[in-house]
Amino acid sequence: MVNSTLVVTLYVNPMTGNDTNTGSRLSPFKSLTRALKVTKIPTIIHLESGTYNAASGEVFPLIVPGGATVVGNEVNKGAGIVISGSGEFQSPSFGIQNITLLLVDNASFLGITVTNPSAKGTGIWIESAAPTLSNNTLSNCGREGVFTTGTAKPTILDNVFVQNTASGLVMAGYSQGEVRRNVFQRNPLGIAISDFAAPMIANNKLSENRTAIALSRNAQPVLRQNLITKNTQGGLLVNGNAVPDLGNSEDPGDNIFRDHIEFDLYNATTQKLVSVGNQLNPSLVKGLVELLPNNRVPVNTSPSDSSTESPPQKPPLSPCPLVPLSPPPLPASPELNGHWAEPFIQALASMDLTHAFANGSYQPDKPMTRAQYAALVAIAFNPFPKISAPDFTDVPKDFWAYSAIQIAASGGFVGGFSDRTFRPDQSVQRLQVIVSLVNGLGLPAVDRDVLEVYSDRHTIPDYARTAVATATQRGIVVNYPDPKVLAPLRLATYAEVAAMVYQALVAIGRTSAIKSVYVGLHSRS
Is 2 inside any structural domain? no
Domain boundary among 267, 285, 301: 301
Query: Using DSSP, how many helices (H) and how many strands (E) does the chain show?
Result: 7, 31
Same domain, yes or no, for 278 and 401? no
Is 46 inside any structural domain? no
Are residues 127 and 152 in contact, defined by beta-carbon separation less than 8 angstroms? yes
User: In the structure, what pLDDT confidence band is assigned to residue 37 with cuts at 50, 70 and 90?
Assistant: very high
Q: Is the dihedral of CA 456, 462, 466, 471 positive or negative?
A: negative
Count of other CB atoms within 10 angstroms of residue 272? 11
Distance of alpha carbon 121 from the chain centroid? 28
Same domain, yes or no, for 462 and 386? yes
DSSP 8-state secondary structure symbol assigned to residue 335: G
- pLDDT in the model for residue 314: 31
Is 30 inside any structural domain? no
Same domain, yes or no, for 137 and 67? yes
Same domain, yes or no, for 352 and 395? yes
H runs (alpha helix) in 156-273 = none
- pLDDT in the model for residue 416: 84
Are residues 410 and 427 in contact, defined by beta-carbon separation less than 8 angstroms? no
Same domain, yes or no, for 221 and 338? no
In this prediction, residues 133-154 reach a mean pLDDT of 97
Which residues sit opposite 214 in a β-bridge? 192, 237
Lowest mean pLDDT among 48-57, 330-339, 388-397, 483-492: 330-339
Is 53 inside any structural domain? no
Same domain, yes or no, for 499 and 420? yes
- pLDDT in the model for residue 31: 98
Same domain, yes or no, for 212 and 276? yes
In this prediction, residues 207-217 reach a mean pLDDT of 96
Range of the domain at 360: 305-524
In this prediction, residues 445-472 reach a mean pLDDT of 89
Are residues 242 and 218 in contact, defined by beta-carbon separation less than 8 angstroms? yes
- pLDDT in the model for residue 217: 92
User: In the structure, what pLDDT confidence band is assigned to residue 242 with cuts at 50, 70 and 90?
Assistant: very high
**With 80 as the cut, is the pLDDT of residue 418 above it?**
no
Q: What are phi and psi of 352, to 5 degrees?
A: 60, 45
What 3-state DSSP class applies to 378? helix
- pLDDT in the model for residue 301: 31
Percent of the chain with pLDDT over 70: 88
Same domain, yes or no, for 234 and 342? no
- Residues 6 or more apart in contact with residue 351 via CB below 8 angstroms: 511
DSSP 8-state secondary structure symbol assigned to residue 399: S
Are residues 310 and 265 in contact, defined by beta-carbon separation less than 8 angstroms? no
Would you mind telling me the total number of residues written for the chain in this entry?
525
Q: How many domains does the chain have?
A: 2
Same domain, yes or no, for 277 and 385? no
Which residues sit opposite 478 in a β-bridge? 519
- CATH at 145: 2.160.20.10
Same domain, yes or no, for 134 and 254? yes
- pLDDT in the model for residue 336: 64
What is the distance between the alpha carbons of residues 125 and 270, in angstroms, rounded to a whole number? 33
Which tops the pLDDT comparison, 187 or 462?
187
DSSP 8-state secondary structure symbol assigned to residue 484: T
Q: Nearest-CA neighbor of 31 among 14, 46, 43?
A: 14
User: In the structure, what pLDDT confidence band is assigned to residue 287 with cuts at 50, 70 and 90?
Assistant: very high
Which of the given ranges, 137-146, 388-397, 487-496, has the highest pLDDT on average? 137-146
- pLDDT in the model for residue 272: 93
User: In the structure, what pLDDT confidence band is assigned to residue 32 with cuts at 50, 70 and 90?
Assistant: very high
Domain boundary among 261, 276, 301: 301
Same domain, yes or no, for 135 and 207? yes
- pLDDT in the model for residue 521: 59
Lowest mean pLDDT among 293-307, 426-440, 461-475: 293-307
Is 157 inside any structural domain? yes
Same domain, yes or no, for 280 and 366? no
Is 412 inside any structural domain? yes
Domain boundary among 244, 278, 301: 301
Is 383 inside any structural domain? yes
Query: What Rg do the C-alpha atoms of the chain give, in angstroms?
Result: 24
What is the distance between the alpha carbons of residues 65 and 103, in angstroms, rounded to a whole number? 6
- pLDDT in the model for residue 339: 86
Are residues 477 and 471 in contact, defined by beta-carbon separation less than 8 angstroms? yes
Query: 176-208 pLDDT, tens per residue?
Result: 999 999 999 999 999 999 999 999 999 999 999
Which residues sit opposite 144 in a β-bridge? 122, 167
Are residues 222 and 245 in contact, defined by beta-carbon separation less than 8 angstroms? yes
Lowest mean pLDDT among 30-34, 195-199, 357-361, 445-449: 357-361
Is 271 inside any structural domain? yes
